[in-house]
Structure 1
Amino acid sequence: MLDIVRAKQKSMFIKLAFAIIILSFVIGYAMLTSPTGNGDRPNDLAASVNGSKISMEEYRSAYSNIYNLYQNIYRDQFTPALEKQLNLKRQALQQLVDQRLLAQEGEKLGMEVSKKELVDAIAKIPAFQENGVFNKQRYVDVLSYQRLTPDVFEEMQRNDLLVKKVGDYLRGEVSVSDEDIEAEFRKQNEKVNLAFVRFAPALFEDKVEIKEEALKEFFQQNQEQFRIPEKVSIRYILFDPASYVDQVKLEQQDIEKYYRRHLDQFEIPEQVRASHVLIRVARDADKEVRKKKRALAEKILAEAKAGKDFAKLATKYSDDKASVAKGGDLGYFTRGTMVKSFEDAAFALKPGELSDIVTSPFGFHIIKGSGYIEAGVKPLEDVLDEVKQGLRKELARQLAYEKAMDAYNINRKAGDLDAAAKSAGLEISESGLFTRDEPVGTLGSQPELNSAAFTLQQGALARPLNLKQGVILMTLKERQESRLPELAEVRKAVEKAFRRDKSVELAQAAADKLLADLKTAGDLNAAAGAAKLKVEETGDFARSYGDFVPRIGQSADLAKQAFTLTEEKPVADQIFEINGKFIVAVLKKHSTADMAQLDDAKREELRTSLTKKKQDEVYRAKLDELKKKAQIEISPALASLMNEG
């Protein structure tokens, strides 16, 4: 069975593409729902676009949404280093600026979003649908759960539609000529294969000799690199929602409302139960083999139709080892689980019916239906315990937050956490010292917690924070300012950095020597062999790869020079530093595009993709022009925040 299960895991890039579709919507939400969106207070202003203010609250909301978006995409792979590489702080600002500029351009052009356009767009949002149809009650419930009113949401949607309409207008009409299509075809199909040697500095680190005077000089020149960052510690009390579960009272109307808001959790997908016999056929099997396998499948189908026990036939003939021990039974499965040809045939069967012979990438199947479950939603009475449990947790968290807010409001002027803890009957916990990027003791890594902790002043209570563990009320315990260290404090880190720095020089020198030898010898394998270096190949790649070179990485210079190399002059005339490594490359093979393969269907495909590409280029150019003409000012507070880390 495992052989015919379709892989469900989507690539990271597909997830990212989907996420970006909703990102502008999220930014629009930040713009419209920010409680301090006018940026009137000096410290609240993040930026302004032609006089239209963007508040720090808007920026934080936009950044938080983008952060959570990428965190959900990359999950365990989402590290502070990746966050920095993605430059999320600048992304958040850029999204807000683009939104402002497009909205302003829409006003200048007199563009509007009609009532019908707005209604149609909202009706198409799956979150507001039941069985594929817009449901007003679900619409109201979902917005209520998100603490949004229909008026605010509809204005947010109207703004989003206006921005998209302006974007479509800016893209305009473009033309694609036959020459453009032929050039693109050549770009995609002319290919080269490079042979190369890479020099990784890490492999030279053990050759670096550390001398005390050189180390001291290196430390003095790079002391800022080893600066000890600002650290704080906090005292806090935790309002654990679990402690308030017994105080929660469930009303029938709340139970029904929770159930309606979470219908997606109780959906029953359409399912079918089936058994099968698989006659496996290798993908590269010739016609004669396929003919014999087909004949065997037809024989088995005839026996099944004659009334022979299907389970015994599966046990005797099936090549699916996972299901053969169960008489071919695959159990219940949903759509999207099996390969399409198998799925279509199985879902077309009624219990007890036999399929004709079904062809899949794995061979020939005979399928017997044995059960069917229609798509639907579990009734409330069947999931009542689950609904009550979920509602209790939700209300308990709300109650925990209310208790924390009561303690905050009573003690905020005095900033007295001890009094707040005593009145709430809670113990005070303390964290150790932590930096802006480090986990906060047992509370772990939570960006909103770190951000709030570093804005705390001595003797002040922070507003309650809703964290994974519960709701916390905290105050600052200690702050250690950032400072420059003595060499003895950071000696190991300095030695490591020194080795890394000097190893780069050694790696580059080795690459320079190989290139010089190669220009003399003309044979990469011979020159590399003499130095006991490994020669690798990129494999064929086309101009359409852009700046990406397989097995090497991003390099505009190498990608461009690769297509200028010839059999007469196969050696790239420079060292390429890519991803911290030094590359020496030569031409291995050059393949020209076969223009005979450019048929009408391919021409139309290229015309479509080139049209979109040109429209996007026009859009980006016009948006860049709007930015050049615009007065965009970034506040010192935001500039400082963006330069951190």
Structure 2
Amino acid sequence: MMDILRQNAQNWGIKILFAIIIIVFVFAFGMSGFEGNTDPVIAYVNDEPIPTREFQQVYRETAEAMRTQNPGIDSDQLQSPDFKKAVLNQMISQQLLEAEAQRLGIAVSNGELSYTISTIPAFAGTDGKFDLTRYQNFLQSRQMSAATFERDVRNSNLIQKLQQYITLPVLPTEEQARELFDTASEKIQIDYVYISGADFIKKAKINDKAIEDYYKANPDKFTIPARAVIKYIAFTPEDLAMFEDVSPEEMKSYYAAQKDSFKQEEQIKARHILLMVDENAPEADIAKVEKRIKKILAKAKSGQDFGKLAEKYSEGPSNVKGGELGWFGRGAMVKPFEEAAFALKKGEISQPVRTRFGWHLIKIDDTREAGGKDFDQVKDEIRAAIAQEKASDSITDKLDNAIDLLASGMKLEKIADETGVSFKESEQATIQNLTRAFGMTEEAAKSILALPLGSSTEMPIAIDNGYLLAEKIQDIPASISPLADVKEDIKNFLSQQQAMQLAKVKAMYTIGMLTSEKTAAKELKSIKKDLKTSEPFGRDGFIPNLGMNPKLAEAAFAASKDKWLPQAFELPGGFIVARLDERIPPKEEAWEAQKDMIMDALEQQRANEVFNAFLNELRSKAKIEVVRKDLLN
């Protein structure tokens, strides 16, 4: 947010013009936070005042403009001291720039002013020309005089003229722009070998003392936060829907009216067998797993039950359900899996399919063609929709009744009986559990956990689609998990950590062998089967199939061709040993197509740098005194 203000520093005088261009018609709002000192001046710039009233107006208009440009912006940001200070700093800069323009004899004529206003799009009529009525209506809607508006536009033009005057000498040469283009557009490829930590996991040796030491040194990692068990009544359409009666006639009428909305895409019901293998694993490991899954395929083709084979061999989470994946449409699975699955007919089993997870066998249990759903397919969905619609109309009445009963001293369980709603009990809940489960704010969750044992919320808590009344029935204080409960997790973590260290040692050893004249040829021969060449990539750090690795990209761009980089680079699960394979310069036609744009961008960048330096110089020499600091808190 602050960057937006900084980028527009040279245009602060356009505060009114900016509002016109984006057609932001701002309405005044309350002045909370501006009470206290009543000095009519907020600051002095070289003994010239910035009136408090003007600051308040500009602050409001800037905040509203930011809301319009960024609808999701947090209101707290717009009320923060940083934001208010940024607004005041812009006004100080504007005053300094206007004074400097006058000192240099730079002025805006009446003719220039008239031309600027006449070309503002917001004031154009249907014929594209300036419409005086639109102009007057705008001024009237803002309760602003023409003199005030024209003064602001004149000052904006004055600062723009000053900027043009100051930045005249910054025009870049074509050679400079070409150098920038070549640097930004050049791509490279690397040769690399991936050394996986998983290959060293069996060599990791973790004893009980190491586990105990880690447990003692990291108690925060094993702390179970304070929890509570609550009983509650939820007033939402979903919770109240079960108490609503929906007749078959209502459901059929709803279906007839909404029939066109009950469409389905092509779907399949499938199950699979997965043998996992890392996507960056050596080819020999990939081939070994492929051989295993082909043996399972032979068993499935011979008539053995696919579900039982999945339970026995599959390494995916669906193995407990016989590999069942349920119904799904296109876009739900990774591309290779989807393409293979949708190419099969009901009852068919695929050939082995490779994805980033490993090797799959896929069996199609059933298919659904694209088209409309019949009534039986959607009747449960229709009943729920009608019931929730009816329930939403009763929420207010039932909630008001419950609040009255609660105020009379009645317990929630009895209130649930009286109002005919469900009384439910939570599992052990933390702040995070409550916010996720109900969609309430963190503050609301804290207020529930802070309830005295046996007491209820006095007012309803807002949750997703409704409200909640809660009663705390159990307190569970924070505690630390016993070592026995987390010992295996610690061992696995330390084993992986140690395996990664061993992988790093192996990577550095490999680099040493590859960079030594005596051993380079032999080592290169030994890793040749695992050596891969990347796809071309740029300086942004994203390397296809390897992910974001800015340090690796930076080192590779600085390297010489065929020279091994002197360090190993960490990736999730392992390390990379790499060398520069090839530099790929940008094409001449790409330069010709982008030359003008790059020249303009470079000119603008340099102009901004020069102008900001000029403004900083003005500020350093100016006498600036803020007398109403309370307005910035």
Superposition TM-score, scaled by structure 1 size: 0.45
Superposition TM-score, scaled by structure 2 size: 0.45
Find the structure with the greater CA-based Rg: 2
